[in-house]
């Protein structure tokens, strides 16, 4: 009986090496993305929004802050949107129902 040839054809060995390298890079990238999500997302969720120092909320608790040109909008836990001028004076209050 004839024996089957051993080894890979010449072009296939290079392709096998490329696929192996690509697999290692993909696994490394996936581990990096998972590590970043685990370490960075909890920090971002724990931070409270920061307000400019001129703004006083008088007991309202902010849940979101948006800065615009000449104004700052603050969303509070009691479903209000407070819009302040840059000097800290209240420009507008919107109730969200």
Is residue 27 predicted with pLDDT exceeding 90? yes
- Structural contact between residues 8 and 20, judged by C-beta atoms closer than 8 angstroms: no
| DSSP string for residues in 7-43 | S--HHHHHHHHHHHHHHHHHHHHHHHHHHHHHHHHHH
Note the pLDDT tens digit of each residue in 34-87: 999 998 888 777 766 667 777 888 888 888 888 888 899 999 999 999 999 988
Is residue 1 predicted with pLDDT exceeding 60? no
């Amino acid at each position: 009986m004839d024996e089957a040839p051993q080894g890979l054809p010449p072009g296939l060995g290079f392709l096998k090496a490329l696929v192996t390298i690509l697999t290692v890079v993909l696994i490394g990238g996936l581990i990096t993305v998972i590590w970043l999500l685990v370490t960075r997302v909890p920090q971002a969720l724990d931070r409270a929004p920061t307000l400019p120092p001129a703004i006083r909320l008088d007991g309202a608790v902010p849940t979101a802050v948006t800065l615009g040109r000449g104004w700052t909008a603050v969303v509070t836990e009691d479903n209000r949107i407070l819009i302040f001028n840059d000097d800290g004076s209240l420009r507008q209050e919107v109730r969200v129902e």
